Structure 1
Amino acid sequence: MARMFRVLGFWTLAIALMAFAGHLNEMAILFFIQTAVFVLLGYLNFTERTYMLMFWGYMFIAFVSFTYWTVFVMGNPF
């Protein structure tokens, strides 16, 4: 399970580099930070249950944040 966090770190790094190349600096910084966190967590050797709980917590925060951003910050296009 620890390898999966390193794999997530690899993919977030790829997204960060593409965002940086596309001049989306805020997005790139966000994904560089996620890359560092995922790679760090990948080397801490927690139990599988701990990794699953951290991943579900991450997904919950990501979905709530995305929903908040799209509803309240982006506003209504009509």
Structure 2
Amino acid sequence: MARMFRVLGFWTLVIALMSFAGHMEEMSLLFFIQTAVFVLLGYLNFSERTYMLMFWGYMFIAFVGFTYWTVFVMGNPF
């Protein structure tokens, strides 16, 4: 399971580099931070249950943040 967090770190790094090349600095900074966190967690050797709880916590925060951003920050297009 720890290896999967390192794989997540790799893919967030790829997304960060592509967004940086596309001049989206805020998005690339967010994904560089996620890369560092995922790679760090990948080397801490927690139990599988701990890794699953951290991943579901991450997914919950990501979905709530995305929903908040799309509803309240982006606003109504009409």
Letter in 1 for 2:22: G
Paired residue for 1:39? 39
Q: Displaced runs of 4+ in structure 1, greater than 2 A? A: none
Paired residue for 1:72? 72
Paired residue for 2:3? 3
User: Gaps spanning 5+ residues in structure 1: where?
Assistant: none
Paired residue for 2:53? 53
TM-score by length of 2: 1.00
The 2-side partners of 1:25 and 1:4 are apart by: 26
User: Gaps spanning 5+ residues in structure 2: where?
Assistant: none
Q: Please report the RMSD computed on the Cα atoms of aligned residues, expressed in angstroms.
A: 0.1
Please give the secondary structure, in 2, of the residue aligned with 1:52: helix
The 2-side partners of 1:77 and 1:18 are apart by: 28
Letter in 2 for 1:66: F
| Percent identical residues | 90
The 2-side partners of 1:4 and 1:65 are apart by: 23
The 2-side partners of 1:76 and 1:24 are apart by: 23
